[in-house]
Amino acid sequence: MSQEIAPTLSFTHQQQPTANVAGAWLVHALSGAAKMREITTQLKQATANPDLHWDLSQITRLDHIGAQMLWRAWGKQRPRHLILQEAHEGLFERLEQVDHLVIPKAPKPRLTRIMQLGAQVLGLFDHLHSFTALLGQLMLDLSRFARHPIKAPWKELSANIYRTGGQALGITALVGALIGVVLSYLSAQQLRTFGGDLYIVNILGMSIVRELGPMLAAILVAGRSGSAITAQLGVMRVTEELDAMRVMGIPHGFRLIMPKVLALAIAMPLLVIWTDIMALAGGMVSAQALLGMSPEFFIYKLPEAVPLLNYWIGMAKGVTFGILIALIACHYGLRIEPNTESLGRGTTNSVVVAITMVIIADAIFAIIFSKTGY
C-alpha cells in the first residue's frame, strides 16, 4: 500500500489570497507533535484574514479529526469562498448540525424542603410495608417448614450456619479477647486506687456476659455476614437469577430467606457464648498480669458475680439480634435494582440499618430487664 501523503497547508497570492489544503488530513497523520505544531501555527495565521479563499480540492483523504481542525479555524462556520470536494461535504454538514444542537439544561429540583421530607416519610412507609410483607412470608414459610420438615432446605440451612457462624469464629474471638484485655486494664487501674481488686470479676462478668458479648458479636456479624447476605441477593437480582427462580416456581422465601434467618437465629447465640468466653479469657489474663489474680480464683468467683439469668438474657439477645440482622439484610438484598450502583448502596444501607436496629433492640432489652439478673 502506498504511503499516505502528509497533510500540508500553503498560501498563494496570485489573484486572491488562497489557503491550499492538501494531503491526507487523518488522525494518525496529524498525531505527530512537530506536524501538529506546524499545522496549528498555519491555521492561526489563516484565521487573521477573514477574506481568505480556501481550496480543499487537493485533499486526498479526510476524517472527522482533520475536518474538526479546519472547522475550528473557520470559527465554526463555512468561509465565504470555499472549494470543497463532494465526497467531503457530509463531514462539514454534520459539524454544522452539531453546532446548531441545543442541549437542554437539567431542570432545577422543584421540591421544597417540606416535599423532600414528605418523600422521605413515604420512602420509610414503603420500607415498612416491604419489611412487613417479608416478615409475613417468613411466618408462612416457617409453618410450611414445621408441617413438612422432610422437604425443608436442610443443605441451605447447614451451609448458612457454617458461613455466618463457623467462619465468624476467628474475628469474634480476636475482637472479644482484645475487648476483654482493654476493659480489664482500664478497670484494674481504677479498682487498684480504691483497693477493690476483687470487683474486677463482677465488672468483667456483668458487662461482657450481659452487654458487650451480644453487642460485639451482633455488630461483627452485621458487618460481615449481613453485608454478604445483601450482596448475594443483590447479585442474584443483577444476574436475573431471582427472576429465573420465579419462572421455575422456586419460592424465594422458602429457599433463600428462611434458611438465612434460621441460620443466624441458631448461630448468633453460639457466637455470643464464644465471644463471652474469649472476652472473659482476655480479661482474666489481663487481671493476672495487672492485679496478680490467679485464673483459678477468677473462674471460682465468676458464677457468684454473674447470676445465671444474665447468660439467658445474653442468649435471648443473640437470637433476637440474629433474626433482625438476617431480616434486614434480606430486605435490602431483595430491594436492590439490577445495577452495580444500587448494589453498593443497598449493601451499605443494610449494614448501617442492621447495626442501628441492634443498638435499639439492646436498649429495649436493657429497659425490659432493668430489674432482672442483679
pLDDT of the chain along its 374 residues, tens only? 345 677 888 888 767 788 888 888 887 777 776 777 888 888 887 777 777 888 888 888 888 888 888 888 887 888 887 888 888 888 888 888 777 767 777 677 666 778 778 888 888 888 888 889 989 989 998 999 899 888 888 998 999 999 988 899 999 999 999 999 998 888 887 777 777 778 888 888 888 988 889 999 999 999 999 999 999 898 888 888 888 888 888 888 888 899 999 999 999 999 999 999 999 999 898 888 888 888 888 888 888 888 888 889 999 999 999 999 999 999 998 888 888 788 888 899 999 999 999 999 999 998 988 877 66
Q: How many domains does the chain have?
A: 2
Cα 137 off chain centre by: 27
In a domain? residue 88: yes
Residues 353 and 247 in one domain: yes
In a domain? residue 108: no
In whole angstroms, give the CA distance from residue 339 to residue 202: 51
In a domain? residue 110: no
Residues 135 and 92 in one domain: no
Residue type (1 letter), 326: A
What global pTM score does this model have? 0.69
Q: Residue 41 belongs to a domain with what CATH number?
A: 3.30.750.24
The SS3 of residue 62 is strand
In whole angstroms, give the CA distance from residue 229 to residue 222: 10
Where is the domain boundary, 99, 129, 164?
Answer: 99
Residues 119 and 86 in one domain: no
Distances (CA, A) of 143 to 55, 148, 152, 327: 86, 9, 11, 17
Residues 328 and 229 in one domain: yes
Where is the domain boundary, 71, 99, 127?
Answer: 99
| R_g over Cα of the chain | 37
In a domain? residue 84: yes
In a domain? residue 79: yes
In whole angstroms, give the CA distance from residue 120 to residue 331: 18
Element (H, E) at 126: helix 113-147
Which one, of 272, 288, 309, lies nearest residue 200 by Cα?
Answer: 288
Residues 351 and 215 in one domain: yes
Assigned C-alpha cell, 22: 492538501
Which one, of 80, 7, 86, lies nearest residue 50 by Cα?
Answer: 80
Which pLDDT belongs to residue 219? Answer: 93
Q: In what order do the strands lie in the sheet with 53-62?
A: 8-12, 18-25, 53-62, 82-83
Residues 279 and 198 in one domain: yes
Residues 136 and 248 in one domain: yes
In a domain? residue 363: yes
In a domain? residue 2: no
Residues 219 and 145 in one domain: yes
Residues 197 and 313 in one domain: yes
Backbone angles phi, psi at 30, to 5 degrees: -95, 0
In a domain? residue 160: yes
Which pLDDT belongs to residue 111? Answer: 65
Structural domain of residue 77, as residue ranges? 8-99
Residues 172 and 71 in one domain: no
In whole angstroms, give the CA distance from residue 149 to residue 368: 35
Cα 248 off chain centre by: 30
Residues 82 and 194 in one domain: no
Residues 128 and 205 in one domain: yes
Which pLDDT belongs to residue 3? Answer: 57
Where is the domain boundary, 39, 64, 99?
Answer: 99
